[in-house]
Amino acid sequence: MLKKPFAAAILLLSAAMTSGCANRDVTGSIPMDYRERHPIVLTDAETALDLPVGVNDTRLTTGMKDTIKGFAQRFTASPASYVQVQVPQGSLNAPAASRLSHEVRSALVASGVHAKSIVMTAYAAGSNGDAAPIRLSFIATKAVTSSCGEWPEDLSDNTMDNRNWYNFGCASQNNLAAQIANPTDLLGPRGMTPIDAARRSTVIGKYRSGSDTTSE
| Lowest model confidence (mean pLDDT) among 36-50, 64-78, 158-172 | 158-172
Q: Which domains does the chain have, with CATH numbers?
A: 41-144 (3.30.1330.60)
Q: What is the pLDDT of residues 99-125, one digit of tens each?
A: 999 999 999 999 999 999 999 999 998
Q: Which of 23-37, 155-169, 189-203 has the highest mean pLDDT?
A: 189-203
**How does residue 128 score in pLDDT terms, banded at 50, 70 and 90?**
low
Please name the residues in contact with 70: beta carbons below 8 A apart, sequence gap of 6 or more. Answer: none
Alpha-carbon distance of 181 to 124, in angstroms, equals 34
Q: What's the mean pLDDT in 67-88?
A: 94
pTM above 0.85, yes or no: no
Pairing, β 134-144 against β 83-89: antiparallel
Task: Report the 10 Å Cβ neighbour count for 162.
Answer: 11
Contact 145, 177 (CB under 8 A): yes
DSSP-assigned beta bridge partners for residue 42: 143
> Length of the chain in residues, anyone?
216
Alpha-carbon distance of 6 to 4, in angstroms, equals 6
Q: Give percent of the chain above pLDDT 90.
A: 42
- Predicted confidence at residue 133, as pLDDT, reads 94
- Predicted confidence at residue 158, as pLDDT, reads 61
